[in-house]
Amino acid sequence: MNKAKKGVLLVNLGTPDSPSVSDVRKYLDEFLMDGRVIDINPVSRALLVKGIIVPFRGPKSAKTYRKIWTGNGSPLMYYSERAATLLQESLGADFHVELAMRYQNPSIQSALQKLQDAGVSSIRVIALFPQYASATTGSVHEKVMEIVRTWQTIPDLSFVNSFHDDDLMIRVFAENGRKYSPGSFDHILFSFHGLPQRQLKKADVTGGHCLRSADCCSTLTSVNQFCYSAQSFNTARLIAGVLGIPADKYTVTFQSRLGRDPWAQPYTSEVIHKLAQKGAKRILVFCPAFVADCLETIYEIGEEYDEEFRKLGGEKVQLVESLNEDPLWIEALARMARAN
């Protein structure tokens, strides 16, 4: 009897199939209609997303996607596919690796079907978000369970909750940053994707910690172990520690907020403005919430914030590349896959 392979499902956020307005609208609709992403009344969410955001934001977002689209297509898709291919090579014949996107293609449904058809003995789900959030990792886990619960035979199923402190991941970000000589910059930002404060509060299961003090996220403890913000601060602290960056030389910030409700703070854009007002000329920016360079890193940090900073009198906002297809990152994924 041949030994059954172990299944590994890598899941990233997603990307439009193309930078056309119709494909971008399809992507935004599926993404923003997720109740874990916009966690408000379903009727209000539908009115907001389908009546306002998708129709009006679609053309603008499509224009932005066209700016980062390459001959290989979406950078996020390209690097995710490369990571899956390299992980399969690293793990060898005893494993079967599939890649999925939480939104759009390849779907989680299709990837799980391939693993089921292959007769895998187990499935290890690795959501490609270093820091846990209900809107990202939580949404992936929910979708996987929603699909697998309908199977007549369910193999051993396990999930990676987060890997915000993975030493190999930290090393890759540090080595990527070291290429730019961090000490030569006036200030360093660790810019993470934003999250509404109401979602941070929901993750506070004890109800007595989140946002009760200005420094509630500065230390990761058993009380805030699942807090996205606290895990983000921890990732930044570990990278800074490897590079020897003193605490007064870096700031943890949050980008890409949507709507008027308060989000995790401080906001990246506001910190950049304050640094410019203080006379800073060169800023180095890490984006450790993203394992692959994408719209939020290549365009939002590398172009949009750089242009904004220059208009304020600065000289350069330098983006540090993400993990992409770095061999150490693939080794980190292999270690997570084998940990089951």
Residues 6+ apart with CB under 8 A from 237: none
DSSP 259: S
Residues 6+ apart with CB under 8 A from 75: 68, 292, 293, 294, 298
Distance CA 259, CA 37 (A): 13
Distance CA 18, CA 24 (A): 7
Backbone angles phi, psi at 161, to 5 degrees: -70, -45
The stretches of the chain forming alpha helices (DSSP H) are: 21-32, 42-48, 54-68, 75-91, 108-117, 139-148, 167-178, 197-202, 228-243, 268-277, 306-311, 327-338
Task: Judge whether 237 and 250 are in contact, CB under 8 Å.
Answer: no
Number of neighbouring beta carbons within 10 Å of residue 31: 21
Distance CA 115, CA 121 (A): 9
Distance CA 150, CA 171 (A): 40
- Per-residue pLDDT 10s for the chain (340 aa) are 578 899 999 999 999 999 999 999 999 999 999 999 999 999 999 999 999 999 999 999 999 999 999 999 999 999 999 999 999 999 999 999 999 999 999 999 999 999 999 999 999 999 999 999 999 999 999 999 999 999 999 999 999 999 999 999 999 999 999 999 999 999 999 999 999 999 988 888 776 777 777 777 888 888 888 899 999 999 999 999 999 999 999 999 999 777 778 999 999 999 999 999 999 999 999 999 999 999 999 999 999 999 999 999 999 999 999 999 999 999 999 999 999 6
Backbone angles phi, psi at 244, to 5 degrees: 70, 30
Task: Judge whether 262 and 196 are in contact, CB under 8 Å.
Answer: yes
Look at residue 43 in the predicted model and tell me its pLDDT. Answer: 97
Look at residue 340 in the predicted model and tell me its pLDDT. Answer: 65
Task: Judge whether 163 and 332 are in contact, CB under 8 Å.
Answer: yes
HSE at residue 218, side-chain half, CA atoms within 13 A, is 7
Distance CA 312, CA 335 (A): 44
Distance CA 9, CA 325 (A): 17
Distance CA 203, CA 200 (A): 5
Structure tokens, 252 = 């943890």
| Paired strand residues for 73 | 70
Structure tokens, 335 = 């270690």
| Paired strand residues for 317 | 283
Residue 17 to residues 6, 64, 74, 82: CA-CA distances in angstroms?
A: 29, 14, 8, 17
Distance CA 111, CA 159 (A): 16
Look at residue 217 in the predicted model and tell me its pLDDT. Answer: 80
| CA neighbor of 254 nearest in space, from 305, 291, 303, 212 | 305
Number of neighbouring beta carbons within 10 Å of residue 204: 17
Look at residue 291 in the predicted model and tell me its pLDDT. Answer: 98
Structure tokens, 109 = 């449904």
